[in-house]
């Protein structure tokens, strides 16, 4: 049963009891009113009968006086009294008709009253023959009136006795009703008290007590302690809520177990620092990284494990993280080990305003740093120990080809030309690798200058014109000249790269077109060819390093797979974007956009 249904029952039970009590009181009050009204009716009727009986006696005596002495004053008085008595008799008969217990008197009263009335009126009538009657006749008439009057009086007296009895019964009913009303009130009050106590006990047992248990469970849930057993009883909202608490507790327990497992088994060091920077909680990876035991590290300051030269930088780093809790901060520092070594680590820190603590992840980047150092050494070696000899070798080959050391045979020239192309390709590869490295290391500096789109395109055309002629490809340009603030050499490098690719992959006697125009406040360049195009699944990868549409392109077209990656780095360094639109079998449109000066 739901709580709302229990609430309805708790409200309805006292209400029903109250309605029963009120209904009983109303019925008792109605019965009491009926008895009182009946008493009042009998009292009025008794008064009426007594008054009518008296008036009838007066009329009788008035008729006697009139029979003896025919005085006009007795005649008018007799008629008036007869009318009063007649009115009273009619009211009495009407009352008898209303009560079945008195209806038996009506026929007798009807008959006797009619006789009395007729005789009385006859005695009071101004008829001359009445005065010629004998005294005995008048006496006989009076005796008849007396007899009928006595009969009516006896009936009324008998009715009065019945009235007294009925009035006593009505009085007894009134008293009984009062007793019943008091009994109903007393029983109702006692019943209400009993029911109220019962409902209160049920309310406390069914609702308040269970709410208290749920409240305790909520506290246990917050503290992570085991909950009280699941509530028993009707399947209402409280039981369902308690079950939800147990499900949440179990879910939190499992989540906590997983969190602890992740925390303890994480490869990276995970720890928390208080507001002053002291270690509060650390996972096992800290021991593996530094060699220090967790127990001896807890409550130590983080600075104790950072190389001394980086203390100030680390302190500022922590303060910045605290000032801006909505951001994540990363810092590379050297971390001391127990045995005197230093590990390169990346600190990722976030300040938790609610907990007033730092959440820190320490990632070991020693291997990456060593790799970067090895890569830098390789780049330096390529730059100095490989590019310089290759450049010298190419100069020497140029001297041979130009006949400085004597005229060469045709076969030797072919061999020397092949060697020159191979060395040129190696030098370009080295230069591309160096450019990529500079961009990744953030060492590429742009030299911005005022230039125009037409100048950039013309310079690029000049650089690839020989290649276009050899491939028998026509170069065209459609440009609305615009002024730009860019690194002109780098933008020309991008155009040359895109034009070279377009020429290489275009069929002979075809056209490569360059368009330059303004779009949404930016200068857009498009290099359009009508070659074989690029498959849709390759469009996203063409700007990645060492990625080519087809692996055999590196052999057939002598590409390095770095040109488009370098183009992407150059354009993004200018704050622009680069992309390609292509339909396989129809050609490609490589485009890039750079900002125009305000």
**What distance in Å separates the CA atoms of residue 490 and residue 97, rounded to the nearest whole number?**
130
Please enumerate in sequence order all residues whose Cβ is within 8 A of that of 263, keeping only pairs 6 or more positions apart, or say none: 270, 283
User: Which superfamily does CATH assign the domain made up of 266-364 to?
Assistant: PAS domain (3.30.450.20)
pLDDT at 438: 67
Gyration radius (Cα) of the chain, Å: 63
pLDDT at 167: 66
Q: What is the mean pLDDT of each run of 10 residues along the chain (598 residues)?
A: 64 75 75 70 74 75 65 66 77 70 68 68 53 60 68 69 68 75 78 78 71 79 78 73 81 75 78 90 88 89 92 90 84 90 91 88 87 72 66 73 74 76 71 69 78 93 90 92 91 92 92 93 93 85 70 49 85 92 91 90
**What distance in Å separates the CA atoms of residue 227 and residue 385, rounded to the nearest whole number?**
73
**What distance in Å separates the CA atoms of residue 207 and residue 217, rounded to the nearest whole number?**
15
CA atoms within 13 A on the CB side of 49: 26
Please report the sign of the dihedral spanned by the C-alpha atoms of residue 224, residue 229, residue 230, residue 232.
negative
Q: What is the CATH number of domain 23-172?
A: 1.20.120
Calculated CA dihedral for residues 423, 425, 431, 433, nearest 10 degrees = -120
For residue 248, what are the CA distances in angstroms to 214, 258, 260?
A: 13, 15, 18
CA atoms within 13 A on the CB side of 408: 17
Question: Domain spanning 445-595: which CATH class is it, in words?
Answer: alpha beta
Tell me the pTM: 0.42
Q: Which two tokens stand for residue 56?
A: 């009838």
**What distance in Å separates the CA atoms of residue 138 and residue 64, rounded to the nearest whole number?**
9
Residue matched to tokens 């019965």: 31
**What distance in Å separates the CA atoms of residue 472 and residue 485, rounded to the nearest whole number?**
34
Q: DSSP assignment, residue 531?
A: S
CA atoms within 13 A on the CB side of 313: 12
Asked if residue 514 lies in contact with residue 457, where contact means CB atoms within 8 angstroms, the answer is: yes
Helix (H) or strand (E) holding 519: strand 511-519
Q: Which two tokens stand for residue 31?
A: 């019965």
**What distance in Å separates the CA atoms of residue 203 and residue 14, rounded to the nearest whole number?**
14
For residue 488, what are the CA distances in angstroms to 27, 115, 455?
A: 110, 150, 9
**What distance in Å separates the CA atoms of residue 448 and residue 455, rounded to the nearest whole number?**
15
Residue matched to tokens 């992407």: 568
**What distance in Å separates the CA atoms of residue 237 and residue 205, rounded to the nearest whole number?**
15
Calculated CA dihedral for residues 502, 504, 510, 514, nearest 10 degrees = 20
pLDDT at 146: 67
């Amino acid at each position: 049963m739901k709580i709302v249904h229990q609430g309805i029952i708790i409200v309805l039970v006292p209400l029903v009891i109250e309605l029963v009590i009120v209904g009983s009181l109303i019925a008792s009050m109605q019965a009491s009113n009926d008895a009182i009204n009946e008493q009042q009716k009998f009292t009025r009727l008794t008064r009426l009968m007594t008054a009518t009986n008296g008036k009838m006696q007066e009329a009788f005596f008035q008729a006697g006086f009139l029979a003896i002495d025919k005085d006009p004053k007795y005649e008018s008085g007799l008629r008036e009294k007869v009318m009063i008595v007649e009115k009273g008799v009619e009211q009495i008969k009407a009352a008898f008709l209303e009560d079945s217990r008195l209806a038996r008197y009506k026929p007798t009263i009807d008959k006797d009253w009619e006789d009395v009335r007729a005789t009385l009126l006859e005695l009071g009538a101004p008829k001359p023959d009445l005065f010629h009657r004998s005294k005995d006749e008048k006496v006989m008439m009076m005796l008849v009136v007396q007899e009928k009057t006595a009969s009516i009086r006896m009936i009324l007296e008998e009715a009065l006795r019945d009235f007294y009895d009925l009035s006593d019964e009505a009085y007894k009913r009134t008293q009984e009703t009062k007793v019943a009303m008091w009994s109903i009130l007393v029983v109702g009050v006692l019943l209400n008290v009993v029911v109220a106590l019962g409902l209160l006990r049920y309310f406390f047992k069914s609702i308040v007590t269970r709410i208290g248990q749920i409240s305790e469970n909520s506290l246990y849930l917050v503290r992570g302690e085991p909950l009280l057993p699941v509530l028993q009883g009707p399947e209402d909202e409280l039981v369902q809520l308690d079950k939800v608490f147990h499900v949440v507790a179990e879910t939190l327990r499992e989540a906590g177990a997983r969190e602890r497992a992740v925390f303890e088994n994480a490869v990276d060091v995970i720890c928390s620092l208080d507001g002053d920077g002291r270690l509060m909680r650390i996972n096992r990876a800290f021991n593996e990284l530094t060699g220090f035991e967790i127990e001896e590290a807890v409550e130590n300051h983080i600075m104790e494990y950072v190389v001394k030269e980086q203390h100030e930088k680390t302190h500022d780093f922590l303060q910045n993280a605290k000032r801006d809790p909505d951001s994540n901060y990363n810092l590379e520092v050297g971390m001391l080990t127990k045995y005197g070594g230093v590990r390169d680590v990346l600190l990722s820190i976030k300040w938790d305003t609610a907990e007033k603590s730092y959440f820190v992840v320490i990632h070991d980047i020693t291997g990456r740093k060593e790799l970067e150092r090895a890569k830098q050494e390789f780049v330096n070696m390529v730059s100095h120990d490989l590019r310089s000899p290759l450049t010298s070798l190419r100069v020497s080959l140029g001297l041979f080809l130009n006949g400085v050391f004597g005229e060469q045979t045709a076969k030797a020239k072919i061999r020397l030309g092949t060697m020159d192309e191979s060395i040129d390709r190696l030098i370009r590869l080295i230069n591309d690798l160096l450019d990529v490295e500079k961009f990744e290391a953030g060492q590429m500096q742009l030299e911005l200058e005022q230039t125009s789109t037409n100048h950039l395109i013309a310079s690029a055309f000049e650089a690839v014109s020989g290649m276009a002629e050899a491939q028998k490809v026509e170069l065209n340009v459609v440009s609305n000249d615009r002024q730009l603030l860019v690194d002109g050499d780098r933008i020309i490098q991008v155009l040359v790269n895109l034009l070279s690719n377009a020429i290489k992959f275009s069929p002979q006697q075809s056209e490569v077109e360059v368009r330059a125009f303004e779009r949404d406040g930016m200068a857009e360049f498009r290099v359009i060819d009508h070659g074989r195009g690029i498959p849709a699944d390759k469009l996203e990868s063409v700007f990645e390093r060492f990625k080519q549409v087809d692996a055999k392109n590196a052999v057939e077209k002598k590409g390095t797979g770095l040109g488009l990656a370098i183009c992407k780095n150059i354009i993004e360094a200018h704050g622009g974007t680069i992309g390609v639109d292509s339909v396989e079998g129809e050609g490609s449109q490589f485009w890039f956009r750079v900002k125009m000066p305000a």
